[in-house]
Amino acid sequence: MLLVIDIGNTNIVAGVYRERESSDGLLHHWRLSTDPERTADEYGLLFKGLFDYDGLDLRAVKAVIISSVVPHLTPALEWMAEQYLGLKPLIVGPGIKTGMNILYEDPKEVGADRIVNTVAAHARYGPGPLIVVDFGTATTFDAVAADGAYLGGAIAPGIGISTEALFQHAAKLSRIELVRPKSVIGRTTVTSMQSGIIFGFAGQVDELVRRMKEELGPQTKVVATGGFAPLISKETSTIDVVDPFLTLEGLRLIYFKNKE
């Protein structure tokens, strides 16, 4: 089996695939809170528990690939793979084959998750042009050219951190459940906040996508992923498809590009 791990600022998303070059081999997936205080041993025991609970054998994992935007946490997961699985993980970064020409002024500045997402989107929904919207700690918008080159994109504050800032700095506003209100015009503080957050972020997505399409062309396909993608995409007019496993699929593809 192949274990794929994406370390984000808010969540660690992991999945396990049958070790074969096919996207239909995803056996299970998990979303964990990113905790920089956890040690490699704690992560090892955590993964052992997850595998056991879902009836999977951790010893059957034959390869590991990791992408990370939390550099100080990467060594803990790397050591976990070496200590508990006896495997040297492949780390997505400079020197890794992605099959994608990165046209950023400094390719090293591009977050590993953004490259992983666009590799998967191009393989699944290409040839392009494409826009990938990832609703993570930040909301990222990544553009892929018709020939598969990574062009760049836009980065906006994510829904989670934006709403958390609102709660912290407005004394009379408390945390709320993020669900779609019945009306844009809220008649309570809670529904007013739900309207502003959900419809407001949907509007942000539509406007940024519209402007990017002016440069890429009207035939551009828009793919969304990330924790809030199912909620926000329903309120947009520009997102064509929601793919919750885009990052995991990108990691799988990159692993096989580098397997030899």
Closest alpha carbon to 43 in 16, 82, 70, 69: 82
As a whole number of angstroms, the distance between CA 144 and CA 39 comes to: 37
Structural Rg of the chain based on CA atoms: 19
Verify whether residue 35 is a known catalytic residue. Answer: no
Q: How far apart are CA 43 and CA 254, in angstroms?
A: 23
**Distance separating alpha carbons of residues 126 and 121, to the nearest angstrom:** 7
**What torsion do the CA atoms of 106, 146, 121, 101 make, to the nearest 10 degrees?**
-30
Per the document, the length of the chain is 260
Identify each DSSP E strand in 23-173 by its residue range.
26-33, 63-68, 90-91, 130-135, 138-144, 150-157
- In order of 11, 40, 114, 141, the CA distances from 198 in angstroms are 21, 37, 23, 18
User: What CA–CA distance (Å, rounded) separates 73 from 194?
Assistant: 33
Select which of 6, 57, 113, 134 is catalytic. Answer: 113
Distance between CA atoms of residues 6 and 68, nearest Å = 6
The catalytic residue positions are 113
